[in-house]
Every structure is written in C-alpha cells, then in structure tokens.
Amino acid sequence: MKRITAILAAVAMMAATVSTANAQGRLDKIRASGEVTLGYRDSSIPFSYLDDNQKPIGYSMDICHGIVAALKKDLNLPDLRVKEVPVTSSTRIPLVANGTVDLACGSATNNAERQKQVSFAPTTFVTATRFVALKSAHLKDLADFKGKTVVSTAGTSNLRWLTQTNAREKLGMRIIAAKDHSGAFLTVASGRAVAFFMDDILLAGLVANSRTPADWVISAKAYTIEPYGIIEPRGDGPFKTAVDNAVKAMMKDGTLKAIYAKWFTRPIPPKNINLNWPMSDELAKVVANPTDTPDPAHYMGHSRQ
C-alpha cells in the first residue's frame, strides 16, 4: 500500500511539474525553438476559417499575427516562425493548457469557468447567444422549442447554457452536440434539428454564406453576453504581459479598428459577402479601455437586432 501511495505521489508530482513547465516560460520556449504555435478554427467565419487554399484567415488570425509581429520585436527574433495547428471548440483549451499551442485564435468566450484552465487576452469582440432557424419554422422564443430537437457546438459555452436552460425550464428538448459550427448549421438545413444556438455573429456568417440566406432568421432576443478573447496559457505572467501589451497597442494605434473593418464591414472570402456588422458600442468601449474580465455585466448593453 505504501509503495502504491509513493508511486501515485510521484506521478502527481511529475504531472504538476509538467503542468508548471507548460504554464510558465512560454517566452523561453519560443526563444529556444524560434517558433510560435497558433491554433486556428476551420469554420468560425469571420474569426478563423479556411480560405479556398486551405489557409487559415480571419479577424482573430490577423490579431494573432499582430501579436507575433510584436513578439518578434520583443524577443529580437525577426525570423520567428509561425506554426499553425487546427483546433476545435473541444480541443483548443486543453492544447493551450498543455503547451501544444501558444495562442488559440478563434471565437472563444472568456468566462470565469474557463479562466480556471487558461487566460484570455483583452476582449476583442462582444457577442450574444441567439438561435438561427428557417423562417418557415416560425420559432420566436424558448417556449417554442418544447420537445423539439436543437443543436449547438460541442465544447462551447452556448451548449452548456442550452443544456442547463433545458433542464431548468423543463423544455424537454433533444440537444445535439455538433463537432463544429458548419456541421451544426447543416443539421438544421437538413431538417435534423429545428434551430442552432450559437453566438450571433457566427450565425450571421453562416447565413450570409449559405445558398439561400433569405430563408433563415436569427432570433431578435439575446440569451447571454459573450466576450471573446485570444486564449493564452494560465499562470504565465511574462507571456500574458507580452501578448496583452501587443493587443492593447493595436487598440491604441487604430490597427484593431482597421482589422475589424476589414472583416466585418467589407466583402470577405470565400464569397466576397459583406457581413455589414459595424463595431458595437460595447466593443468600442473595450477598445478605448481594454479589459480581460469575464464578467458579462461589464459588457451589458449589447442589443444587436
């Protein structure tokens, strides 16, 4: 028994050591390897998605490349390489936490629960949970979903909220957890679910790029407030400072507003569709006064219709 206890203690100590090594010294790792690793999403339009050449592009990718440019100067590494690794809603946090990915560049909600595992750069977008459905379904609010099948994306805060709300309100919904956003949207398009609950801007991107945008409706009611930020490793002060300062510099000199305009108010690949999504007052407030708080109350007032 003592031997087993000793082995378990040794394993726990090794795990703690590995965790500490991964959580600290990310700048040292980048210096030593000459490489920074960015996690990207394949269908989070317009934040991080693949273009026709299978290259990751988008608003969050541009922000991450701006961070890399700052790191090159900070570390005096003009030839710093960028490695891009695909992540999903379910894998992005573990991959940042275990050191496989240095930054996750996508559409990630910053909340208190996630901050127990990772950190977030200053908020660079504010969105809200809504649902998308076919207009022909005539769905207006949660009461309309009693006993129906709905979908959200695995590993998202939206799915967690939907599951909790379903139980609390006794709606009896059957909830499908899709692998990614495009798959969830297809679940509704094919009739396997009546609605997809997700962040409104992601729904807008999917509708705009669908075959029949006029057939879809995004709910007027917002159910949760979701601040987005680039995911960073937790407990690594020097790395967080370097990344956060890079984001704040982009906010201060107007770079972030220019990146925003590029992806939300102008035609974007692959179909050159303009999302026509001007910067909200809530995001403008954050750009003027950067914060990485996960508290939804700080961002209240988001009322996109």
pLDDT in tens, 75-88: 999 999 999 999 99
Helix (H, G, I), strand (E, B) or coil at 95: helix
Q: Residue-wise over 219-237: b if at least 16 C-beta within 10 A, else e?
A: beebbbbbbbbbbbbbebe
Q: pLDDT of 228-267, one tens digit each?
A: 999 999 999 999 999 999 999 999 999 999 999 999 999 9
247 touches 239 (CB < 8 A): no
CA gap 186, 198 in Å, rounded: 14
Say whether both 218 and 288 belong to one domain: no
27 touches 242 (CB < 8 A): yes
- CATH code where residue 188 lies: 3.40.190.10
Q: pLDDT of 86-131, one tens digit each?
A: 999 999 999 999 999 999 999 999 999 999 999 999 999 999 999 9
Q: Closest by alpha carbon to 39, among 90, 72, 83?
A: 83
CA gap 45, 272 in Å, rounded: 12
CA gap 162, 152 in Å, rounded: 8
Confidence label for 301 from pLDDT (cuts 50, 70 and 90) = low
Residue, of 63 and 19, whose pLDDT is higher = 63
How confident is the model at residue 300, as a pLDDT?
80
The residue out of 199, 225, 251 marking a domain boundary is 225
Residue 73 lies in a domain: yes
Say whether both 215 and 241 belong to one domain: no
Q: Which domain holds residue 169?
A: 128-225
How confident is the model at residue 196, as a pLDDT?
98
Say whether both 136 and 251 belong to one domain: no
The residue out of 225, 255, 288 marking a domain boundary is 225
Confidence label for 305 from pLDDT (cuts 50, 70 and 90) = very low
Residue 305 lies in a domain: no
Helix (H, G, I), strand (E, B) or coil at 272: coil
User: What is the rounded average pLDDT of the residues 147-172?
Assistant: 97
Q: Which two tokens stand for residue 236?
A: 């690594």
Say whether both 118 and 132 belong to one domain: no
How confident is the model at residue 120, as a pLDDT?
98
Number of CB atoms found within 10 A of residue 101's CB? 26
Please count the structural domains in the chain: 2
40 touches 61 (CB < 8 A): yes
User: What is the rounded average pLDDT of the residues 263-281?
Assistant: 94
Say whether both 32 and 93 belong to one domain: yes
**What is the chain's mean pLDDT, rounded?**
92
Confidence label for 187 from pLDDT (cuts 50, 70 and 90) = very high
pLDDT at 132 over 50: yes
Say whether both 74 and 42 belong to one domain: yes
**In degrees rounded to 5, what are phi and psi of residue 57?**
-135, 170
pLDDT at 14 over 70: no
DSSP secondary-structure letter at 60?
H
Contacts by 246-250, CB closer than 8 A, 24 or more apart: 246/66, 246/67, 246/69, 246/70, 246/71, 247/63, 247/66, 247/67, 247/121, 247/122, 247/124, 247/290, 248/122, 248/290, 249/70, 250/63, 250/66
